[in-house]
């Protein structure tokens, strides 16, 4: 024992008890016989606080295993399924409280300049013009400025086509996972706003659905 150890304060003795560190200058007393190319090893012990944490971790692990497999509690699969069920209930409650955000029957076309401008921007950004041309006169896709529609006109029908895609094999993809619901309404509203315009080279009439009805 270091002769100065009896002179240290109670606080320092307490801190020393937490680490069980040896006093400086006593290395020769705790030197092990191992010698690795001139490198010697000290016989230091693990700090008590670290050992306590380690033992607590082991105890908690045993408790968790017993409760999980012995009493069928704290099952991760059940907890996950419960969380998913609760989340679905919250989603349905939110939908019920905000039907205008989810019920397609309530969709109304935008007519203000800001939303129509956003719809026009989306028409260009999402490359709709490649199939329908910039003036919506139609190319690979149909003319969107006349009143004949293949899958139905009106904001709800156009929104549904944008959301779910066009006819199989015709190249019109679903945009539901790519743009938001509001953006799809904006895009449909812009298309409706172009009804009756005169494209430079309009594609011949396609579709038997006439909208608006004449």
- Determine the Cα–Cα distance for residues 179 and 164; give it in Å rounded to an integer: 12
Asked whether residue 99 is domain-assigned, the answer is: no
Q: Do 109 and 204 reside in the same domain of the chain?
A: yes
Q: Report the 10 Å Cβ neighbour count for 139.
A: 13
pLDDT tops 50 at residue 9: yes
Q: 207, 142 in Cβ contact below 8 A?
A: yes
Query: C-alpha dihedral over 177, 178, 180, 184, to 10 degrees?
Result: -110
- Determine the Cα–Cα distance for residues 134 and 147; give it in Å rounded to an integer: 18
CATH at residue 199: 1.10.760.10
The whole model's pTM is what? 0.56
Q: How many domains does the chain have?
A: 2
Q: Do 110 and 206 reside in the same domain of the chain?
A: yes
Tens-digit pLDDT profile for residues 140-189: 999 999 999 999 888 999 999 999 998 888 889 999 999 999 999 999 99
Q: Do 65 and 147 reside in the same domain of the chain?
A: no
Q: What percent of the chain shows pLDDT beyond 70?
A: 89
Q: Do 114 and 202 reside in the same domain of the chain?
A: yes
Domain that holds residue 178: 104-210
- Determine the Cα–Cα distance for residues 78 and 117; give it in Å rounded to an integer: 49
CA 43 to chain centre: 51
Asked whether residue 40 is domain-assigned, the answer is: yes
């Amino acid at each position: 024992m270091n002769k100065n150890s009896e002179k240290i304060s109670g606080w320092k003795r307490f801190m020393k008890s937490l680490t069980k560190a040896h006093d400086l200058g006593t290395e020769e007393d705790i030197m092990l016989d191992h010698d690795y190319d001139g490198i010697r090893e000290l016989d230091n012990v693990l700090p008590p606080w670290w050992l306590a944490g380690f033992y607590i971790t082991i105890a908690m692990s045993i408790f968790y295993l017993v409760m999980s497999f012995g009493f069928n509690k704290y099952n991760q699969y059940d907890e996950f399924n419960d969380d998913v069920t609760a989340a679905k209930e919250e989603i349905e409650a939110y939908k019920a409280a905000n039907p205008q955000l989810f019920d397609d029957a309530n969709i109304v076309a935008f007519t203000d300049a800001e939303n129509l401008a956003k719809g026009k921007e989306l028409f260009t950004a999402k490359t709709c013009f490649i199939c329908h041309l910039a003036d919506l006169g139609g190319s690979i896709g149909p003319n969107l400025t006349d009143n004949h529609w293949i899958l139905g006109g009106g904001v709800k029908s156009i929104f549904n086509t944008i959301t779910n895609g066009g006819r199989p094999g015709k190249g019109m993809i679903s945009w539901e996972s790519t743009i938001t619901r509001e953006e799809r309404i904006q895009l449909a509203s812009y298309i409706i706003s172009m009804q009756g315009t005169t494209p430079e080279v309009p594609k011949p009439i396609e579709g038997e659905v006439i909208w608006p009805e004449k």
